[in-house]
Structure 1
């Protein structure tokens, strides 16, 4: 029997309402390249899928047949809301990364200004000593 694991992956992806493979990979906590290789080779890591997809049926993962989940099912709307929240968090994370970069640049500028002021103060002190010595 030749089991098409790509179909199993697609069923899981659709069940959780992921439109993009990258979102599905993030959900599984794997790299998008890993998921792409699963699709291209027609294989997957059964342990990862079993651990990340709550209440998945081991029989479904092994055979691709029967009920996909045992017991409790996650409503599609909940999965969609989670994806939307995850996308929003990713956007906020990018904004925070940009803010961090900007703050680091500001810190560098202030350090340069402080160094400039310290040099000027040192120059003033030297000039003051020089004037005092002349007098």
Structure 2
């Protein structure tokens, strides 16, 4: 069986921790998995939030974030796993007002050095949102 320690999940089933702000949610993975000191983990989280243009929301908690901000926080949290293999589960459930995958792909591109692979799992009827006729079945 494949080692799951490098799996980073982006899913409505694994929400941001509501009593932590966004930088704390991102930093938590480095603190937990690598025993990184809080101040170092915070600097790293803030640097990555800045890459996505989200440094201004670093101290905001999940209930006060917009859907794209929540998605980005979840994505960065997933990317903090060493040698991350990111699994994005039904992204349009997290981003109901987003009409296609452009935002998702552009965001992934901005942090593509933070993960090894990324897989997106979605319903077959959403394949037109991805701009491709290719959909893997499995």
TM-score by length of 2: 0.27
Q: Which has the higher contact order (CA 8 A, sep 6+)?
A: 2
- More helix, by proportion: 1
Q: Please say which structure displays the higher CA radius of gyration.
A: 1
